[in-house]
Amino acid sequence: VGYPGETEHDQDELLEFVSAAQLDWCGFFEYSAEESTHAATLADQVPEELRSDRIAELRELQDGITAARRDSLIGTQIEVLVDAIGEARSFREAPEIDGIVQVPEHLVPGSFVTLTVTNALGPDLVAS
């Protein structure tokens, strides 16, 4: 977000795409000029404050989408891989990046189990 020459129209198109795509997860990165790179010499550098505003707007939109998608899973069954005592992930959660699925502590790490989602806590799910 904020690559040199990026316009309000570009930002609006990105917001429209994110809204239409309804992705479970989506990460955004703010452009920063790196010394000795071609992009650092380009005209129409986007001011830092505007880059920050644009990325905040995208993150707010995506956070709402992620929360709604997580909430929609309540009451459904999902298969998870138990990673550690009390923690698992489904195909939706990448390790160390996305949320986790909180699971009963008696489940054995390394096992696949099918559970019912009982709650959504921000990026995390609770299943039993």
Which tens digits make up the pLDDT trace of 3-15?
999 999 999 999 9
Pair 84, 123 in one domain: yes
Within-domain flag for 21: yes
Within-domain flag for 2: no
Nearest CA-CA partner of 55 in 110, 11, 17, 4: 11
The whole-angstrom separation of Cα 103 and Cα 9 is 44
The whole-angstrom separation of Cα 14 and Cα 107 is 41
* pLDDT at position 122 over 90: no
* pLDDT at position 95 over 90: no
Predicted model pTM: 0.83
Within-domain flag for 61: yes
HSE value, Cβ hemisphere, 13 Å, CA-based, for 31:
19
Domain that holds residue 19: 8-71
Within-domain flag for 53: yes
